[in-house]
Amino acid sequence: MIKLTYAEENYLKAIYELTEAGKRSTSTNDISTWMKIKPASVSDMLRKLGEKTVIDYRKYYGVHITEEGKKLALRTIRKHRLWEVFLVEKLRFSWDEVAEVADELEHVQSPTLIQRLDEYLGFPKFDPHGDPIPDEFGDVRSRPRVPLNEIELDGTGQIVAVKDSSAAFLRYLDKVGAYIGARIKVLEKVEFDGSIEILVDNKKTIFMSKDVAGNILVIQ
């Protein structure tokens, strides 16, 4: 069985996230930028992860994650997202505060702990940011999601995720009254700048720029 250190788990999770977002491979510099670790350090770690067969690494040509690696990355992501649910649902954290703490909790080693936590939370399928929680076998059921600015006039849906999950953006959404789970209806679409007006939970109307709307994902 392959054993990973905390640092290795962080790299592998980053590589998984970077490669699942469309492209099948990622580069030393991408990982460096994403993780805020210098390229030289990334190179060295890639060599080590390659030796542990969790990634395919050809010097100068970027990395692909292996099946083994994917399984391990998904295990960490599962833990991260379950802890996020715990923090929000049980400890009343707001959804912009959880990432940092979950980045630590995700490394705690105890299969029983995660299994029981999952059960305790009622086997949630999505985390507070709307991202799917892999099951214990690494299977992920994702929902087809559309950026809010692409919903037609009078169209309805439910906010399930954000593209930009920076604390600043999340706080902004909280302030204007948008949140994961909110039922929305598009009341107006302004032609010339793409800004929109939406109705939230049949109660409150919000105006937002095309840029903001493009970072909000909904299911219809």
Residue 25 found at the interface with DNA (CB under 7 A):
no
Member of 39, 124, 138, 214 binding DNA (CB under 7 A): 39
Cross-strand partners of 56: 64
Instruction: Kindly identify the residues of this chain, within the stretch 81-110, that bind Mn ion according to CB under 5 A.
Output: 84, 103
Q: Collapsing DSSP states into helix, strand and coil, what is residue 143?
A: coil
* Buried-exposed string 136-145: b where 16+ CB fall within 10 A, e elsewhere: eeeeeeeeeb
Supply angle C-alpha 20, 22, 24, rounded to 5.
Answer: 65
Member of 43, 94, 165, 195 binding DNA (CB under 7 A): 43
Residue 145 is which amino acid? R
Residue 110 found at the interface with a second copy (CB under 8 A):
yes
User: Of 80 and 129, which has the nearer Cβ to DNA?
Assistant: 80
Q: How far is the CB of 118 from a second copy (least distance, A)?
A: 10
Member of 99, 117, 140, 199 binding a second copy (CB under 8 A): 117
Q: Closest Cα to residue 62, out of 88, 87, 26, 109?
A: 26
**89, burial (CB in 10 Å: exposed 0-12, middle 13-18, buried 19+):** middle
CA distance 199 to 175: 15
Residue 2 found at the interface with DNA (CB under 7 A):
no
Q: How far is the CB of 43 from Mn ion (least distance, A)?
A: 20
CA distances from 107 to 71, 120, 123 (A): 15, 19, 20
Q: How far is the CB of 113 from a second copy (least distance, A)?
A: 6
Residue 40, binding choice from Mn ion, DNA, a second copy, none, Cβ under 5 to 8 Å by partner class: DNA
Instruction: Kindly identify the residues of this chain, within the stretch 61-120, that bind DNA according to CB under 7 A.
Output: 61-62
Member of 2, 17, 29, 104 binding DNA (CB under 7 A): 29
Q: Closest Cα to residue 20, out of 81, 73, 60, 62?
A: 73
Residue 116, binding choice from DNA, Mn ion, a second copy, none, Cβ under 5 to 8 Å by partner class: a second copy
Member of 2, 17, 47, 166 binding DNA (CB under 7 A): 47
Residue 129 found at the interface with Mn ion (CB under 5 A):
yes
Member of 8, 30, 97, 127 binding a second copy (CB under 8 A): 97
Q: What one-character-per-residue DSSP string does 176-207 give?
A: HT--TT-EEEEEEE-TTT--EEEEETTTEEEE
Q: Which residues bind Mn ion (CB under 5 A)?
A: 10, 84, 103, 127, 129, 131
